[in-house]
């Protein structure tokens, strides 16, 4: 099946202060000197988005947020809207990350509402799905991610730019990774679920893999069928580590 250009996105999570912008600058300079064979994005915490945007200006590195509220504005203390992300220079946003689902109780319906908000603001959503260790051990991984695709991807995504990120929850930050066969099984199932949900609109959007991706395993993971890129956590905080993954794409 025809794939769009691979996307390698870095999720800094709740990490990074002003001094960390040097890593973003080093990344941008390296990719200017030797362009990547994939799209590259960084998603810093909200406090750094505008400053990182200035750092990455005129570079090939795209800028994203880590979450947005479903509403455009209002009495939602501590939240950030999709329009606010656009206003400070973001073009992408991560939605439905397992840490949001588990820690903040976000449901598939909540995620779908946020996707609608992101699309309305002109952001490209990266929609996260993935099973827990208990679900994996119960043989429910494919069932869980297929259900999450059906519930988290609104019909309005058809024809729009977006990505789905498969992150087995038990592999995030643990150093554990599924086998290549397990990754392929789930990615193929996710593709089928995307096509069922969106028709032709689900055929080419990249499916990123996330969960302990590092320079040493990136090449073999990115070569797996239906893996259209990577959503990278800790390894994206250092330019050299993140470049090792980018160069593997």
CA trace torsion 99, 105, 111, 112 (10° rounding): 160
Name every residue whose Cβ is closer than 8 Å to that of residue 125 and which is 6 or more positions away in sequence: 92, 93, 94, 95, 114, 115, 118, 119, 157, 162, 163
Cβ neighbourhood burial of 218 (10 Å; 0-12, 13-18, 19+) = buried
Q: Are 131 and 150 in contact (CB under 8 A)?
A: no
Return the structure tokens found at 162: 């977006």
Q: How far apart are CA 115 and CA 110, in angstroms?
A: 9
Residue spans of alpha helices (H) in the chain? 21-33, 46-55, 82-87, 98-104, 108-121, 133-137, 141-152, 180-198, 218-222, 239-246
Residue 8 phi/psi, 5° resolution?
-115, 110
Residue 124 phi/psi, 5° resolution?
-95, 115
- Name the one residue in this structure whose structure tokens are 């002003």: 18
Query: Which residues have a catalytic role annotated?
Result: 97, 167
């Amino acid at each position: 099946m025809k794939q769009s250009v691979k996307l390698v996105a870095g999720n800094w999570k709740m990490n990074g202060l002003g001094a960390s912008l040097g890593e973003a600058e080093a990344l941008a300079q390296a990719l200017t000197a030797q362009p990547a064979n994939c799209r590259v994005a960084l998603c810093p915490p909200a406090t750094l988005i505008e400053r990182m945007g200035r750092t990455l200006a005129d570079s090939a590195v795209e800028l994203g947020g880590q979450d947005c509220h479903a509403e455009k504005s209002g009495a939602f203390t501590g939240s950030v809207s999709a329009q606010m992300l656009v206003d400070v220079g973001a073009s992408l946003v991560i939605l439905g990350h397992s840490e949001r689902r588990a820690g903040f109780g976000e449901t598939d319906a909540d995620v779908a509402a946020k996707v609608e908000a992101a699309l309305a603001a002109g952001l490209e959503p990266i929609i996260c799905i993935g099973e827990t260790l208990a679900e994996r051990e119960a043989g429910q991984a494919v069932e869980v991610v297929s259900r999450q695709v059906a519930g988290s991807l609104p019909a309005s995504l058809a024809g729009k730019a977006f990505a789905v990120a498969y992150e087995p929850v038990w592999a995030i930050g643990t150093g554990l990774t599924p086998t290549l066969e397990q990754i392929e099984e789930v990615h193929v199932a996710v593709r089928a679920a995307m096509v069922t949900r969106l028709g032709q609109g689900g055929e080419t959007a990249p499916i990123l893999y996330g969960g302990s991706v590092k320079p040493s395993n990136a090449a073999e993971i990115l070569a797996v069928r239906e893996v259209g890129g990577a959503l990278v956590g800790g390894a994206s905080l250092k330019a050299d580590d993140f470049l090792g993954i980018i160069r593997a794409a």
